[in-house]
Structure 1
Amino acid sequence: MKKWVRSISREPITYFLILGSVLYFLHAWLNPEDKTNSRVINVDRDSLVQFIQFRTQSFDDKASKKLDSLSPDGLANIINQYIREEALYRQAMEYGLSQNDYVIKRRMVQKMEFLAEGTTTPSTPFTNIELQAFYEEHLEDYKLPPTVTFTHVFFSEEHHGNVIDQLAQKTLEMLNKNRVRFDQAPNYGDRFPFRLNYVRRTQQEIASHFGEAMAQTVFKLLPHKKVWQGPISSEFGKHLVLLTRVEAARSPPLRDVRDQLVKELERLRELDSKQKTIDELIDGFEIKSSPEFQGRF
């Protein structure tokens, strides 16, 4: 027996457990109401509902309904998961594992930021004057890019090889001679992997289907409702284009972007309120800086 005691006493884990127990009972004595370090895990409705809410990331009454709908086995499983999580969490807190852990520190900061977000007080709606002033100040952010409207006849380089240029040129002459309309384009050429008609599309959208080189070329063309233009090369082959409309970049009327303006102003108002709350919190601390960083913030 004495040999066993001497053997145990030499193990570092023994001192760790003794020290942990001493710290635990000391903290429990000084903080009798601290539930985090309590050795009693209460399994009640509120605890289980909150557990389900955090597990499902759904903070509404659905968690309560889910709890009521569980089968006996499902309920037992939820309870066992809750007990396991609480026991591990409390033991980790008892051992001080949260100290100097940057991940936990950031999580707590995020919680404080979340609480600060809830400090925004209800305010009056924005006036038309406020919306107009904000819109004019940020006009470029709401500007609509140039767009084009066209249809095309496509010739696949894979299918036609070296004769593709000759075929495209010959077809161009025929289309213009016969005054082929916009809606008749499907009767000619090969099947294109994407769309046949492009209505009010931006250069970025055109480039995503045809490549940047062809997109730039199309946006330099002059529109004509009865004249086919080309051939224009793309990443897939040759194209004959009937460009019927070009719209320059423009600023939409305020009424068209009113909802966007209101949402953005509300977002900025909430950010401002949140920052003021955090600034007030910071003002409650005394900031001591080493000489190296004095006057740098």
Structure 2
Amino acid sequence: MLRKIIREPLVHFLAGALLIFAFFWATGTGRDPADYAIRIDETDIDRLTTDWERNFRRAPTQAELDGLIDQEIAEEIYYREALRLGLDKNDPVIRRRLFTKMRFIDSEDAENVPPTDAILQQWMDEHPGKYALPPLYDFEQIYLGQIGATQARARIDQLNDGARSAAFAQPISLPSNVKAATIEDVSRQFGDRFAAQLGRLEPGQWVGPVASGFGVHAVKITARQPGRKAVLDDVRQRVTNDWHASRQTAQKEKALARYREQYEITIAGRR
């Protein structure tokens, strides 16, 4: 009797259907290319409406909602037709997109865990040089133009003797007075060449000439705050961002290692 049942075509059909069902269940895909039924339920409509409201700050009209639904149906049709043609196979763009989505899924939990102050402080202690606060400079500068060093020094001496800056200043779209600037701030405004000389200047008097890409300047350092070790409140957001990034990377690598254990990997030319 058992052999007779096994030979029945209906049994073969049901077994094949069961295998197909098991395949799609195991691979987690929600799309069966052989399925020609498309259902737009209330969840889909709510999603389309919410996306529209986020973009346009208002609810869609009925005509606009009908257009969104038609677009959703068209995308689903083309998606399934593409699967039937195997267009998802060996496509580097799709491969990269799926890789990116899997990496995002593997690191998603890291974004949802808020670090405590103790965790952030430990991270800072493990990376002491990364969060040191740089020196800050207050200074005045007078653009002397594109003149020689001898002439520039003569004008700087006159400034220190009490000459008015207006007698020598050339017009330029740079601030004449700068407060609490880091070397990076100065570099963005005056250029790397100018910023590199700032730390060597004596404060309290006009010095120079200090060269930039524009020409030469007379500079007076009026205040200098030395660099110092940061406390958590100074750099909390940077530390939090770095901690999350490190946690995401660790989770991604852990997930990849777990996946690799399931694969037998062979590379040409390597043992």
Same fold (TM over 0.5): yes
* Equivalent residue, structure 2, for 1:222: 202
| Per-residue Cα deviation, 1:140-172 (whole angstroms, up to 9, x for no partner) | 111233342210122334xxx78x964x55543
> Is the 1:146–1:247 Cα contact (8 Å) retained in structure 2?
yes
Q: How far has the Cα of 1:288 moved from its partner?
A: 4.4
Please give the secondary structure, in 2, of the residue aligned with 1:37: coil
Establish whether residue 246 from structure 1 lines up as the match of residue 224 from structure 2: yes
After TM superposition, the structure 1 = structure 2 runs for residues 91-102 of structure 1, keeping only pairs within 5 Å, are 91-102=81-92
The equivalent position to 1:154 in structure 2, one of 143, 151, 161, is 143
Q: Hey, what's the Cα distance between the residues in 2 that align with 1:262 and 1:211? A: 31
Alignment of 1:32-51 (within 5 A): 35-50=32-47
CA distance in 2, matches of 1:41, 1:84: 10
Secondary structure at the counterpart of residue 235 of structure 2: helix
Residues 146 and 249, structure 1, Cα contact 8 Å, conserved in 2: yes
What are the superposed Cα offsets for residues 233-273 of structure 1, whole Å, 9 maximum, x if unpaired? 33323322111223444322344234533443344334333
What is the TM-score normalised by the length of structure 1? 0.66
AA partner of residue 174 (structure 2): F
2:212: which partner in 1?
Answer: 234
**CA 1:131–1:121 in 2, change beyond 3 Å: closer, same or farther?**
closer
Task: Select 1:80's aligned residue among 70, 83, 95.
Answer: 70
User: What is the identity percentage for the equivalent residue pairs of Structure 1 and Structure 2?
Assistant: 24
Q: CA 1:113 to 1:148, structure 2 compared with 1: closer, same or farther past 3 Å? A: same
- TM-score, normalising length: structure 2: 0.71
2:266 to 281, 289, 296: 289
Q: Which residue of 2 aligns with 1:175?
A: 159
Q: Give the secondary-structure state (helix, strand or coil) at the position aligned to 2:249.
A: helix
Indicate the residue corresponding to 1:7 in structure 2: none
* 8 Å Cα contact 1:142-1:252 kept in structure 2: yes
1:39/1:288 CA distance change after superposition, 3 Å: same
For 2:239, the equivalent position in structure 1 comes to 261
Structure 1 residue runs without a partner (length 5+): 1-25
Residue 189 of structure 1 aligns with which residue? 169
Verify the 8 A CA contact 1:146 1:248 in the aligned structure 2. Answer: yes
Question: After the TM superposition, which of the residue ranges 87-96 and 107-116 deviates more from structure 2?
Answer: 107-116
SS of the equivalent of 2:181 reads strand
Query: Does the Cα contact within 8 Å between 2:111 and 2:244 map onto a contact in 1?
Result: no
Of 190-199 and 118-127, the range deviating more from structure 2:
118-127
Pairwise CA distance, 1:187: 8.6
* Distance in 1 of aligned mates of 2:20 and 2:215: 80
Match of 1:90 in 2: 80
Against the structure 1 CA distance between its residues 73 and 209, is the aligned structure 2 distance closer, same or farther, given a 3 Å change threshold?
A: same
Q: How does 1:90-129 map to 2 (within 5 A)?
A: 90-120=80-110, 125-126=115-116, 128=118
SS of the residue 2:144 aligns to: strand
Question: Matched residue of 1:230: which SS?
Answer: strand
- The alpha-carbon distance between structure 1 residues 194 and 39, as it changes in their structure 2 partners (threshold 3 A), is same
The one-letter code of the counterpart of 2:179 is V
Task: Give the distance between the partners of 2:106 and 2:163, measured in 1 at CA.
Answer: 66
Q: May I ask how many residue pairs the two structures share in their alignment?
A: 248
Rounded Cα–Cα distance in structure 2 between residues aligned with 1:247 and 1:99: 60
Task: List runs of 5+ in structure 2 lacking aligned partners.
Answer: 1-15, 25-29
One-letter amino acid of the structure 2 residue matched with residue 243 of structure 1:
I
The answer as to whether partners of 2:33 and 2:81 remain within 8 angstroms in 1 is no
In the TM superposition, residue 52 of structure 1 has moved relative to its aligned partner by 6.6
Residue 133 of structure 2 corresponds to residue 144 of structure 1 = yes
How far did residue 222 of structure 1 move?
Answer: 1.2
Question: Which residue pairs with 1:212 in the alignment?
Answer: 192
